[in-house]
Amino acid sequence: MEQESQLTRLGLFDARVPRYTSYPTAPHFANDVGPSEFAQWIEAIPAGASISLYMHVPFCRRLCWFCACRTQGTQSDEPVRAYAETLLAELKMLKARLAPGVTLSRLHWGGGTPTLMPADMMRRVAGAVFEAVPMGPGAEFSVEIDPNEIDAARMDALAESGMNRASIGVQDFDPQIQEVIGRDQSYEVTRAAVDMIRERGVQSLNADILYGLPHQTPRKIAESVQKLLSLGPDRVALYGYAHVPWMARRQTLIPSDHLPTPQERLELFEVARKLFVADGYDEIGIDHFALPTDGLSIAQKNGLLRRNFQGYTDDLAAALVGMGASSISRFPQGYAQNAPATGAHTGAIRDGHFSTSRGHVFTAEDKMRARLIEALMCDFKVSAQELTRDYGADPVALAKMFSSCAEKFEDMVEITTEGLAIPEKGRPLTRMIARHFDAYDLSKAGHSSAI
């Protein structure tokens, strides 16, 4: 009760802050990064380097009301096939600009619903990816799978193309909650998809589950978590539902008067968190859980956990290249985002140039603050020596920043001999503490709840 009172006083239950999957965050991207910058950054990747590739498929058979992802509905395969042809052309353009010997460390197909692609098209796209950028040793190929949009032929195509990690969105198994968020995915359908994945020798399974949904109670989320645990995922993301109807208009269909309060959201998170920990999962950062044998757990133990647009990652590649409409790429030089509208993206590729429509060029200050925030989000601590040695931070200015943070957040942060740390009781405030080091104006960005 005393901790909740302190969290209230420090503003946790009122704040809206970024998730810090990037720094600066996407609302601060500008149109001074375009196709020529993207092409130059691709060409600057050294020969023999290892990169990550994200491929976005912005189509769903039906649109879930809770989702804020860039996607569109279609009942026909034709738009999906046409879009896949655009991806094939985009991959050829990528191949033409890459230096010799560049390989993949990570390949992720996301959406939308990548499994809307017919099996033959999946094979063609996977083949084009590997022709453009071969898989490197120990590379990971992950795909977001919709249990309602998968069959044996498509699962065979993915497994035979090299998929070795699958990701399934669960959100919640309760029928009442599914109805009010526009989702129809029973436990039985999900179980069948997981069985297909495991039968094909795919060793790693990710799952997403949400807290903060309408009508969600501690009992209901506990039941959903227990059902999820019975599926044996290797890695789980426990995301807070972000109710941002001003950004995702379909969320206006969700009755806001049935959403949990911020205090209730914290309770829901804690119920789920304790169940995962009791079942042997390691806590990863602020909202992920992984078995001790999973790559995330190993990376965390070795101080190599990182943050990217998919959340937490063990990928250390210097460049993440995004293919497809709305995809965001990260390079040592900055961020580049493709045109969000499918038509605009397709038109650009048809005209022979990338569709990059906005982005951000890093300053030295950006790189230092990005690492500071990433360290807090991943390790709950940051080394002043690392920031001064690797990023040229001014030790005096850094000490003042740490001091002002400690003054603001009381004993929820600690000044240490190494730098700054967030003790366990302060971890619900991690995103707010990270915001303290954000130099950009967040007042008009419309971010989600801090808890």
The answer to whether the annotation marks 251 as part of a ligand binding site is no
The answer to whether the annotation marks 242 as part of a ligand binding site is yes
Ramachandran assignment for 392, one of left (phi > 0), alpha (psi -120 to 50 degrees), beta (any other): left
The answer to whether the annotation marks 47 as part of a ligand binding site is no
The answer to whether the annotation marks 11 as part of a ligand binding site is no
The answer to whether the annotation marks 67 as part of a ligand binding site is yes
Confirm if 422 and 430 have CB atoms less than 8 A apart.
yes
- Residue 288: exposure state from Cβ atoms within 10 A (0-12, 13-18, ≥19): buried
The answer to whether the annotation marks 112 as part of a ligand binding site is yes
The answer to whether the annotation marks 328 as part of a ligand binding site is yes
Give the amino acid at 439.
Answer: A
The answer to whether the annotation marks 144 as part of a ligand binding site is yes
The answer to whether the annotation marks 66 as part of a ligand binding site is yes
Residues 6+ apart with CB under 8 A from 176: 215
Which residues belong to the annotated binding site?
A: 54, 60, 64, 66-68, 111-113, 144, 171, 183, 208, 242, 328
Which residues belong to the annotated binding site for [4Fe-4S] cluster?
A: 60, 64, 67
Which residues belong to the annotated binding site for S-adenosyl-L-methionine?
A: 54, 66-68, 111-113, 144, 171, 183, 208, 242, 328
